């Protein structure tokens, strides 16, 4: 039975499609478009889960929300493929970046997005907030300078999890300027066959 992915355009759920392609798990996509005025998810998603957010997956009658939880579920379903590396240090990195992506990196990006949409005062606030976001950008650049992938020498689900905030930052905050390691990492993930297949499955995606 195929996993159902409730996929919202230009959203975190693109990572779920990519991971499913990497793992070779069968899935079905149900696409949703954002409200053109508010850019929010449509109310139809609330029929699937009370929060009305994406990504959501359905598997064997169970609905799972939150990208990190979905990633861990899919890795387990695929018998640990792309899961924590064997070494303790790299396994800790895997868990760190699985949670860092949404817990620490995404919040400042969302704040920057909101501020950029507020006339005058928002732009002034953005100038003061930008240095805080730059701390994260420099941290990510330093991590990728130390190794090829976020959890060590091999591609894992941690890289999938980190893709959306980094792509969003590249699109909205020019994160790749002066940061060659981030730029090189983005080129590597975009060249992966599974990534390209996921783009075709999910439809238009502004951040690739």
Q: Which CATH class is domain 3-82+194-202?
A: alpha beta
Q: Residue 122 has what pLDDT?
A: 64
Asked whether this chain's domains 3-82+194-202 and 88-192 adopt the same fold, the reply is no
Backbone φ and ψ of 131, nearest 5°: -60, -30
Task: Name the token pair of 21.
Answer: 């392609």
pLDDT along the chain (208 residues), means of 10: 94 97 98 87 94 96 97 98 97 98 93 73 73 94 98 98 95 91 98 98 91
Per domain, the residue ranges of the chain are: 3-82+194-202, 88-192
Instruction: Decide which of 1.10.287.1120, 1.20.1050.10, 1.20.1560.10, 2.40.50.100 is the CATH code for 88-192.
Output: 1.20.1050.10
pTM of the model: 0.94
Q: What is the pLDDT of residue 130?
A: 83
Q: What is the pLDDT of residue 121?
A: 64
């Amino acid at each position: 039975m195929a996993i159902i992915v409730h996929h919202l355009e230009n959203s975190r759920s693109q990572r779920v499609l990519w991971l499913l392609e990497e793992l070779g798990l069968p899935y079905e996509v149900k696409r949703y478009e954002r409200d053109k005025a508010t850019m929010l998810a449509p109310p139809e998603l609330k029929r699937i889960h009370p929060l009305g957010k994406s990504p959501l997956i359905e598997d064997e009658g169970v609905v799972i929300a939150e990208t990190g939880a979905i990633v861990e579920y899919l890795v387990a379903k695929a018998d640990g493929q792309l899961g924590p590396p064997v070494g303790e240090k790299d396994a800790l990195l895997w868990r760190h970046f699985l949670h860092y992506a949404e817990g620490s990196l995404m919040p400042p990006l969302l704040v920057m997005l909101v501020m950029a949409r507020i006339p005058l005062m928002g732009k002034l606030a953005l100038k003061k907030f930008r240095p805080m976001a730059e701390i994260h950008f420099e941290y990510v650049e330093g991590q990728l300078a130390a190794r090829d992938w976020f959890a060590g020498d091999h591609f894992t689900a941690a890289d999938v999890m980190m893709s959306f905030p980094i792509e969003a930052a590249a699109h909205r905050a020019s994160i790749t300027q002066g940061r060659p390691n981030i730029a090189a990492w983005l080129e590597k993930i975009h060249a992966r066959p599974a990534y390209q297949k996921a783009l075709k499955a999910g439809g238009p995606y502004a951040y690739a």
